[in-house]
């Protein structure tokens, strides 16, 4: 049986691998003009935050899993991702925005492509930094853990 530490490292690595797949899907869908690109941006952010919270040894309740603002608020101030991620909490709404027509039978409008592209670029930078910090090979097997599980800290 894997040790708790190795299990945490595996969770971090695989959350980041899934975040990268969501980011790739988002970019593809955004380029095609498909509204579900925004959903995959939210999912990328959620998985990135879950990896960061796992490193902090913080459990996330299922009811809060899609709430990027709630997840982000759980990160300690010393975690440099906290401030960098703050502008991306607007993505929370896209966890459910396009699942069904609204009460008036309409589908909410898509965000502007430039906006979604900007969000994707910022998520990509954050994800790259997290991958580097934790020492994750995104192309490796889902059995390959992160090299490190310690949480990032400002100035270090």
Mean pLDDT (the chain) is: 94
Distance set, CA 126 to CA 2, 24, 131 (Å): 29, 14, 9
CA distance 44 to 5: 24
Measured CA distances, 87 to 24, 50, 91, 135 (Å): 20, 17, 9, 25
Q: How far is CA 150 from the centre of its chain?
A: 18
Beta carbons of 91 and 32 less than 8 angstroms apart = no
The reported pTM is 0.94
**What band does 51 get if pLDDT is binned at 50, 70 and 90?**
very high
Architecture of domain 4-134: Up-down Bundle (1.20)
Mean pLDDT for the stretch of residues 39-44: 98
Q: Residue 58 pLDDT > 80, yes or no? A: yes
pLDDT beyond 50 at 1: no
Domain positions in the chain are: 4-134
Instruction: Let me know how long the chain is.
Output: 156
């Amino acid at each position: 049986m894997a040790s708790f530490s190795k299990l945490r490292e595996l969770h971090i690595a695989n959350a980041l691998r899934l975040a990268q797949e969501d980011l790739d899907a988002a970019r593809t869908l955004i380029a095609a003009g498909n509204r579900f690109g925004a959903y995959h941006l939210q999912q990328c952010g959620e998985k990135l935050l879950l990896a960061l919270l796992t490193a902090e040894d913080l459990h996330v309740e299922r009811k809060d899993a899609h709430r990027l603002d709630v997840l982000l608020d759980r990160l300690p101030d010393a975690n440099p991702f906290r401030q960098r991620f703050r502008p991306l909490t607007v993505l929370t709404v896209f966890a459910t925005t396009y699942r069904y027509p609204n009460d008036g039978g309409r589908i909410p409008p898509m965000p502007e492509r430039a906006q979604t592209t900007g969000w994707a670029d910022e998520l990509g930078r954050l994800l790259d930094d997290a991958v580097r910090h934790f020492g994750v090979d995104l192309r490796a097997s889902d059995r390959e853990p992160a090299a490190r599980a310690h949480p990032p800290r400002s100035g270090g």
